Structure formats: structure tokens, C-alpha cells
Chains A and B, each alone.
Chain A
Amino acid sequence: MSRAVGLHIAVLAGLALAQFTLPEYHHGNLARIMVLAAFASAYNITFGYAGMLSLGHAMFFGAGLYAAGLAAEFGGIAAPGGLVLGVIAGALMAAVVGVLALRTTGVSFMIVTLMFAQAAFLTVLYFGEWTRGDEGFVIASDMRRVLGLDLADPATRYWAAFAVFGAVMLGSLAVARSSFGRVLAAIRENEERTRMLGYDVFRAKLMALAVSGAMAGAAGAAYALLFGYVGATFASIQYSILPLLWVLTGGAATVLGPFLGTLLMFYLIDVSSSFTTAHMMIVGFALIGLILFFPKGILGTLRERVVPWLP
């Protein structure tokens, strides 16, 4: 087993052990952070590895969230089915958006994905009779069960979040270490040269977006089913920017960076908002500090300076 694989398994083992040792509040927080980190990891595939700066990932997260929520609300489909539907919805939406948006690159891609995401957000509001728009809806507790286990139970919720995050993280690791991942990195570094070498750049980027969408959809569905609420806020622009911040903080194109970034940003806001209403200013200062001292994110900079083997 390589050092890289060992490190990631050790992180998962640490998270599993945390289930038994953390105080109640932080135990609940970590479950939430793992789900959000799965979303950030999904974003990292697109942004970190393939170099596509998307401002539309909220629609993939929202697709999973609403697929699971609406299936439970109107279809009577409980948690496991909801999660599967979430993955499919995220992947499908990413593939469809990708076919159109990948005709553009750079700033244009950013704007096109932002427009699609805004259209998706407004669609949620438009079909308010089913989605309850901005207000959202609560998923019935009997829809939040897996194999007879109640996802509202703290221990069950934690393991479910752990499973989703673990799957996404190991999936990211597999991508990072695969030839597909190397093609993505090549596209990020020099798209024209990659094309000249004979790779189908469009196909690789579309696949990256679909994989990312599937992971984001899984995170969205997991969020809905674990925390019992579905609302348009999660499809808003804010949720396209947050994964970008988390990934930049932890380190783009590092497998563990999205988790670290999500963890740090979560607690930065959690702690600072207890003391000041200007907590976003504190986040801003933290980001400036990050750019000055960790220009490639925390793990990205560490990889550059200390641990070059970090995937």
C-alpha cells in the first residue's frame, strides 16, 4: 500500500473513530461537514483536476437534493432510492449542461454555468406548487430510513455521512491516480497540447463534469435525507461559490483539501458568528491570509513544499 493510500485510509479511520469520541455538538457538525465535503470534493474534480472554473455546481447539488426530496414527497421513495436518484439526477444534469457549456472555456464557461445554475434556481421557484420554492419542505421521517435504521438518529446519520464522504473521497483518489485523472491534469495545464497529443478533450471534460455532477448529486441527496429539509436556498448562487471557497482553502487538486477546507471554513463561521455580525469579514481576512501564505491552498502549498507525494 502506498503512502498516499495509507494516508487517506488513516483519515477515514480517524473519522470513524471520531464517531465515538466527539461531544454531541461536534459529532453532529462533523456529519454535516462530511456531506458538504463530499460536495466540495465533487467540485474539486471539475475545478481542481480539470481546471474548469464552474459557478454552477449548486444546480448539481440541488438536482440531487430535489431528486431525493421530491421522490420522497410525491413518490413515496425512501432514502436508499432517493440517494440513487440523486446521483442520477446530478450526473444527468451535469452531462446535459456540459454538452452545451463545454463549447466555451475560461471566463465564458464560468458565466455560462452561472446562467444555467440561475435558470435552475428560478425553475425551482417557478414550480413552487411542488417545490414550495424558497420556503422548501420537510421530508417525512418515515422516508428517512435505511434498512430499518432512522437517519435522524445521530449515530446512523454519522455513519451515513461517513459512507457518502468515504465513497466520494476514495472515488476522487481513484480519479487522481488514474490515467483519466492525468488526462484531466494535462487539460488543466495545457488544453491545446493535450488535444495535439490525440486526447479527446471534450469527452474527457464532459466525463469529468458528469462524475462531478454525480458526486454533487449524491451530496445533495444525502443532505436532504440526513437533515430532512429541501429548499431553494441550496440551489442558489451561494452554493456555487461555497465549494469553490472550500476547495481553494484546503487546496485545489488535492484529495483531502476539500475536506480540510470545508472543516476550517465551517468552524471559522461557526465560532466567529457567535461574536460578531461581521463574520464574513473575518472569512475575508482569512482568505487574504491564505492567498499570502498558502497560495495553493493549505494542502496544495504543503505538497509543494513538504509532501510532494500527496495526491
Chain B
Amino acid sequence: MSSTTAPQAQKVRSAITRRTALKGLAGGAALAAAPGFVPYIQAQSSAPLKLGFQVHRTGIGAAYGRWYDRVTTAAAALINEEGGINGRMIEIVTEDDGTDPKRGAEVVEKLASQHGCDLAFGTLFSHVVMGSSPRAGELKLPYFVVSEGHHVASGKLNRYTLQPGITDVKSQVRAMAPWVSQNLGKKVTMIFPDYAFGHDHRDFFSEAIAAQGGEVIEKIAIPPTESSFTRYFPRIPRDTEVIYHVMVGPGVLTFVKELGEFYGSGARPQIFGFIDSLEAVDIATPGLEFLEGTYFWEGMPRYAPADAPEYETFYRERVGVDANGASVSDSKDISTYAHMFGCWETLHVIKAGMEAAGYQGPDDRVKLIEAVEAMTTMPAGRAHPQGDKVFNGKTHQVFGHQYISQVADAKLSVVHTASIEDGMYPDETDYTAQPF
């Protein structure tokens, strides 16, 4: 049995049960007999489109999930204010996946089979994407992830899984290498968590910096159970010019504090990190003083630039974030600004895709996928406030600008904007060759 016949078998199984048949007969007879049959059909076609939102409301991803939720709500409100999609309002159906891959797969099933959603979107953590994507593919449910993992572009997933709203880690890391090698140094020591996220950084950056004539002279993997880091720092070679760190989780404050104590007020290498470490964390938090003068990758600048374009200001207002990257209602509630735009942009890609496909309902899911695959450039604007994008329909992955910011006066200030081309790499798969 080919993969294209499986869904037919599934349909037949669900369609021919006695209960369904009886229900269908009874419902059909009642409808045919009822007055106003035609208006009923029209009401159905104008019913809201149901977009299933798989969110990390609990578990390790909850801080991200809270902001993904807010941004999604804001984007949906805007889309509805502007007339919805194909003349229909959108309804966000939210389910918490607990940042757990098993629950993630169950949530995808729930969104597809119980809520009858047209699609699912919004997943961030890579292991949840990996756990959920097979089920989305089996259910023939378009699955738009906002994860920044390389899993989509690597070809590990399936034709129903796309990432059109946020760049992937491989692209981000590659885009950093030219600037790091030209401005900070060529001899790099990497400090990273000893699991897949850290390994991705290790492998992608090692390759990228080598292409720039640089070299990773030491790779320090920190076990995930580690709570103190001082004993690892003596492994940093004396000739290190740049320390590249991607520590995440609750240990990051200790990591920064202990790194500061290790170097004291003496000379230190340049320090470059990924803001993933400090998303939802105030840079002015006591203990983070050592970060002053260091550099970070940002997917989207947390602190509003002085020359921010109109669409960036508009987006910031709509998602309720102030110029310092905090909630307008609570200055201590720091956003996950470098990532959360992905939900906003993904919803706008879904809107554009549904409109291009003339989407009316689940029968048009394949048309929706094909419409998104056909997308190429996405100009910066209210739909894409992070900046211009280039979408690769073959790999289902979007590419965009990346930002490098320096910590100055406990704030982040953009010092470099990497071009889209800096982050591009050869295709590793072609999902369009896969059957639906």
C-alpha cells in the first residue's frame, strides 16, 4: 500500500461505520426536508476557519509559550479586523502540549480529529516538533512549526510540515560566522549544552567559521544536569579570541556569574552568545553585569531601534511590548522577542497561502501546502515585521536577516544586520518530490 492510498483507507474506514452511515442518512434527510436549506450551506461556508495552536503552556517551554500565545492572539485579532481569510473569520483553537513530545502528538490528533481544525501551528521546542510531525503527516494535517530547529530543512520530517515564519538554527549560525571572524576573532572556544540543541550549534558553527578561515580550538560540552560551571572554564585555551556560548535554561545566570568570576576584572576574550540563553530574562538582572560589552545573536531586536520602521513599531504595539522588550502592562515581564515574531509571521503566511489556494476547508489542505511551497519572497512589512524573507518551497524553510547586538548599559543595541544570503545553504531535501 503506498502512502498515497493510506489516507483513502483511513477515510473509508471512518466513512463506512454503521453509526456514521446512519447519522449521515438521518442528517441528510432532515436537511433536505428543512426549509432554508441553501442558506444553511452558506452559513457553513462562512463559519470561522479553525487554526489549531499547539502551545507550550506548561513544561520547560512555558515562558516562550506565554508569549507565543499573546502574539498569536494579537495576530489573529488583526487578521480578523482586516476581514479574516477568504472572507471568513479565524478561530484559534489552543491546546497545551506540556512541552512534551508524547503529549504533542496527542494534541495534534486532538486538533485534527476532535476539534476539526484546518491546520495546526505554533510548536517551538524541537523534540515536540519531532514527536508531533509524524502524526501530522499521517493525519494529512498542514503543520506550521515555529521552532527554529533544523529538522524541517534537513528532510527528516514530511511534506505536511513547514517552517515559513522563522529561520532555522543552521541558517542563524552560518550568518554569524562572517561577522564574528571579521570583528571578534578567528580562534573560537565553544561552550554548549551537551544535547541536540548544543550539538547543532557545535557542528554548524564549526563548519561555518572554518569556511571563514577561522577555527574552533576547543569544544566544551556541559552536561544537562550541571548546576555549576567553574570547573569547565580552565579548559578555555589561553589563545582563545572568542568564547561562543549557547547555554540555556535556569543555569544560565549561574553560568554568566561564574564566567565573570573566572575572568574577574582582567582581560578576557570577546564573548558571543545566542539570546536563547536570555529570552524572557532582563539583561539588567543582578549577576549579569559581566555581559556588558558582549555580543548576542537576536532573531529580532528586543530593544526598539531608534530608526525602527513603521511596521516594527506597529507590531510591537499590537503584541503589547514596550521599547525595552517588556510587556506594556508589566515591565518585569520580559518578552521572547527574538523568537515570538515567528507566530505572527506564520499566521500571515497561512493567510496568504489560504488566499492563494482559495482555501475553503480540509479538502483544500493540499492546495494550501502547494500554495505555500510556491512562495518565494516575503517583503518586510506588517505581515513580516522581522524583515524580508526568502522561502524555499523545496525545503519548507524560510530564510531571513539575523541581528547581532551588543550589551551596552544593560541593554542590547544592534551592531550588525546579517544579509539573508549569509544564512543560506544548499538544499538538503526536496519535499515537493514527496507524494501527498
Contact = CB atoms under 8 A, between A and B. Distances in A.
Contact of B1 (A139, A150, A228, A280): A150
A80 interface: no
Contacts of A137: 130, 156
Interface residues of B, number: 45
A28 B134 CA distance: 14
Contacts of B195: 125, 128, 133-135, 232
B101 A138 contact: no
Contacts, number: 116
B183 interface: no
B220 to A, nearest CB: 15
Given A24-B14, A25-B114, A132 B196 contact: yes
Given A135-B196, A154-B13, A270 B131 contact: no
A231 B127 contact: yes
Nearest to B95: A274
Contact of B13 (A132, A155, A233, A280): A155
A126 B126 CA distance: 18
B56 to A, nearest CB: 10
Nearest to A228: B134
B1 A153 contact: yes
Contacts of B10: 153-154
Contacts of B42: none
A90 interface: no
Interface in A276-311: 277, 279-280
Contacts of A234: 102
B96 interface: yes
B264 to A, nearest CB: 33
Contacts of B135: 227-228
Interface string B104-117: 01100110011000
B336 to A, nearest CB: 17
A268 interface: no
A135 B224 contact: no
Nearest to A140: B156
Contact of A134 (B6, B57, B102, B196): B196
A128 B6 contact: no
B405 interface: no
Interface in B49-108: 57-58, 62, 95-96, 98, 100-103, 105-106
Contact of B196 (A133, A229, A273, A277): A133
A155 B9 contact: yes
Interface in A213-259: 227-229, 231-234
A20 B102 contact: no
Given A20-B17, A21-B17, A231-B127, A135 B106 contact: no
Contact of A25 (B9, B96, B109, B225): B109
A228 B95 CA distance: 22
A138 B133 contact: yes
Closest 9 CB pairs of A and B: A228-B134, A135-B196, A25-B113, A25-B114, A133-B195, A133-B196, A24-B113, A229-B131, A135-B126
10 contacts: A25-B109, A122-B223, A128-B199, A134-B126, A134-B195, A136-B101, A138-B133, A152-B6, A234-B102, A277-B57
Interface of B: 1, 3, 6, 9-10, 13-14, 17, 19, 57-58, 62, 95-96, 98, 100-103, 105-106, 109-110, 113-114, 126-127, 130-131, 133-135, 138, 149, 151, 156-157, 194-197, 199, 223-225
